[in-house]
Amino acid sequence: MSISADARVPISAKCVNREEPFPHPIAWDDIETVILDMDGTLLDLHFDHKVWNCLLPERFALAFDCSIAEAKLEIANQLDASRGTLAWYCLDHWTERLGVDVAALEKELSHLVKPRPGAIGFLKLLEKAGHRLVLATNAHPSSMQRKFDITGIDNYFHIIGCSHHYGACKEERAFWSAFSEDLAIEPSAAMLIDDNHAVLGAAREFGIDYLYGVCYPNTLGPRVTSTEFPCIDMFSDLFG
């Protein structure tokens, strides 16, 4: 789950303002493993936005006889209290806490699940180039599988890592330690693309050198910029 308002070049984790020209070229030969996020990176975050920021408040308001504004405030307060923890990404947790079947809401809006522009072509290029492709997602396992069934993106990955299987979300160093050891990933030869800048920060602290954000996680949402990490408009940005 992601709720927002939540391929490659050698720049060794230095801070780059995305408003400046994109840094080129990437030394692809130095990168062994490409780690990709799912929601907001490969898949359009518009789906998650509609589920969590639109449909959920509507159903919560109906269930508890309150206004949409009151529902949004209550949901936001509860989400904020768990932000940056594994519970924040757990559908079962929120179904119990909010009294609304969140998995059912995802199924209802599943027609909105789709790859971001250029995502499939990017995966095919990486696959053809022989890079080791790893998916690292905070998505709840049932939500992850639902999106796999719809988009087929799982077929491009050598390994799929879900934070729920490691007992820590990607914002935590514990995830990267367990994840990298389990999958034998050399951090200095790994690239990570993720729309969550807290995740990029945790990965940087762990030692991953090649870090990129995403300018439009939600293709219909506002542009995201960073003074810490270069953010890509399109995956083709990474190829000069």
Question: Does 30 participate in catalysis according to the annotation?
Answer: yes
Catalytic residue among 6, 29, 30, 92: 30
Rg value, the chain, Cα:
18
| Catalytic residue IDs | 30
